[in-house]
Amino acid sequence: MTEPYDGRDPDLDELTRDQLGEYNDRAAKVADVLDAWLLGAHGRVSSHHNVGLFLDLLAAEGYRVEPIDAPSFASLLPPAVD
C-alpha cells in the first residue's frame, strides 16, 4: 500500500484496486468477479468496486467467500481443433 500500515484493518471500499490486491488477495479476486459481472450484466464497470459492502452483505446472511480446490477451466475444455 502507498500509506504505511498502522495495524488497523482498513475499510476495503476505501482501497484502490491496486491497494486491495496488496492488502487482501481474496477480496481483490472478488472485486474482479464483481467487475466481470457488472460488465456482463450492464455493459460497464464501476469506478468503485464495493467489495467490502458485498462481503459484509454476504456475511450478514451467513455466507463467506472461501477459495476451493478445483481444476482450471482450461484443463476441462477439450483440445483445440485447428
Taking a C-beta distance cutoff of 8 angstroms, is the pair 52, 11 a contact? yes
How many distinct structural domains can be found in the chain? Answer: 1
- On whether residue 82 sits in a domain, the answer given is no
- List the domain range (segments joined by +) for residue 49: 12-62
Provide the pLDDT for residue 45. Answer: 82
Q: What integer pLDDT is reported at residue 1 of this predicted model? A: 44
Tell me, yes or no, whether 4 lies in a domain.
no
pTM of the model: 0.69
Question: DSSP label at 30?
Answer: H
Q: Supply the pLDDT for residue 6.
A: 61
Taking only the tens place, the pLDDT of each residue in 27-78 is: 999 999 999 999 999 998 888 889 999 999 999 999 998 888 888 888 888 8
- Which pLDDT value is given to residue 81? 86
CA dihedral 44, 2, 58, 49 (to 10 degrees): -10
Is 7 within a domain?
no
The predicted model gives 13-24 an average pLDDT of 92
DSSP 63: -
